[in-house]
Structure 1
């Protein structure tokens, strides 16, 4: 059975909004590039899919934007090529190497986990809450940035149950970012 890993950047106060001012550094970009490249599929809801597509989809002319340096280009190439599953009842279409699934997200993820292949990587803010509540998330992988945002959407806000975690791995980066991986307990 494939594992489902919820992977996201967060601040010390749990803010996981992309506009919280989480400055990427070389180590965190390399970390996420490796995770995305090794995933069997990326799972997103409508909002996260649209946000990631607008930032990281290869332009029609094939040339990456001038603002991208080497680290951003490596990440963009990995995420652009990765298979994606978009769980949305409202999105009209998904064509960025993506399958659009309008069925119940919980049942869809149960089926995906039973299929052979590499682990699934889950992103976003709202969809992960439903999947953690349903007991489908096996691991949380957090890049905790040394920053207090003070506002914005927070990590797993609205969970209906307490979720015990076991620290599996921890890695500090030179920038002060700490990568932590937790196994979800019973």
Structure 2
């Protein structure tokens, strides 16, 4: 069974808005590229899918935009080529190497986890909350940013039951951010 890994940037006060932390640098982009490459497939909700597609889908010209430097290109290539599954009740279709996930979320995710491979990566805010409530996330990766945002969506707001985690790895960045990798303890 492949593990389901949830990874996200989060500020010290728990804000998980994608613009609340420090701007990505070469070191953090390398970290996120490695996270993408550890997964066989990506699992996104509608909002995260559309946001990621707008930023990281290879343009039809095949040429990455000018804003993308040497640090961003490997990440863009990794996320662009990865198979994706999109949980949405409002989208009628998806492309970008993606397929829609409809119906029973728990059953669909258990099916994905049951396929052979290295892992499933999930990002975003709303979908991971639902997956945590179902006890389906095996690993949590939080890149804690040295910022107090004071606003915005907070990590796992509304979680129904406490999830106990075991620290399995930590990595400090020159920026002051710290990546913390946890394994979910069985409920």
CA distance, structure 2, for counterparts of residue 30 and residue 66 of structure 1: 19
Asked if structure 2 preserves the Cα contact closer than 8 Å seen for 1:40 and 1:83, the reply is: yes
Deviations 1:153-176 (A, max 9, x none): 111111000111110000101111
The alignment's TM-score, normalised by the length of structure 1, stands at 0.97
Number of the residue aligned with 1:29 = 29
- Unaligned 5+ runs, structure 2: none
> What is the CA distance between 1:21 and its match in structure 2?
4.1
Deviations 1:19-62 (A, max 9, x none): 21431011110000011022110100000000000000001111
Equivalent residue pairs, number = 186
CA distance, structure 2, for counterparts of residue 107 and residue 127 of structure 1: 14
Number of the residue aligned with 1:8 = 8
CA distance, structure 2, for counterparts of residue 152 and residue 22 of structure 1: 15
Asked if structure 1 preserves the Cα contact closer than 8 Å seen for 2:137 and 2:184, the reply is: yes
Q: CA RMSD in A?
A: 0.9
Number of the residue aligned with 1:100 = 100
Number of the residue aligned with 1:180 = 180
CA distance, structure 2, for counterparts of residue 100 and residue 162 of structure 1: 30
The alignment's TM-score, normalised by the length of structure 2, stands at 0.97
- Unaligned 5+ runs, structure 1: none
Asked if structure 1 preserves the Cα contact closer than 8 Å seen for 2:3 and 2:120, the reply is: yes
Q: Which runs of 4+ in 1 moved over 4 A?
A: none
